[in-house]
Amino acid sequence: MRTSTFRQAALSLPGAEERETWGEATFRVRDRIFALLGSDGKRASIKASKDEQAALIAGDPDTFYYPDYVGVHGWVGVVVRTADAQEVRELLAEAWRMTAAKRAVRAFDEGEG
């Protein structure tokens, strides 16, 4: 996956915006972060549940890892170049769902189906 694809996928979600924080690109909705992209574009962190985090790391430890600082909260680290673009899009959408307002999630899900 390319860095530009990651960025495009995150920003395609309703109300998502990119803001530089701590020298990294953060992706937010309602001013709350749901994903981060490292300054070098090689690694990212995506909000997830602890169960999802464990499953991803166990299933593909070359692509997914336990990230510093936010890993304790269930976030999953992603090696961008080895990640499957569709899987990352799905992870970003789920992270957005965990962060966005319930009415925005409902509207988004109704538009998908």
Do residues 46 and 76 make contact, with C-beta atoms less than 8 angstroms apart? yes
Question: Residue 113 — very low, low, confident or very high, per pLDDT cuts 50/70/90?
Answer: very low
CATH of the domain at 94: 3.90.1150.30
Q: For the chain, how many structural domains are there in total?
A: 1
Predicted pLDDT of residue 42: 96
3-state helix vs strand vs coil in the chain, percent to 5? 45, 25, 30
pLDDT tens sequence across 44-75: 999 999 999 999 999 999 999 999 989 999 99
Q: What is the pTM of this model?
A: 0.92
Taking phi over 0 as left and psi of -120 to 50 as alpha, with beta for the rest, 74 belongs to left
Residues 6+ apart with CB under 8 A from 58: none
Domain limits at 60? 3-112
Write out the two tokens for 27: 């992706």
Q: Over pLDDT 70: what percentage of the chain?
A: 98
Q: How many residues does the chain have?
A: 113
β-pair partners for 17: 28
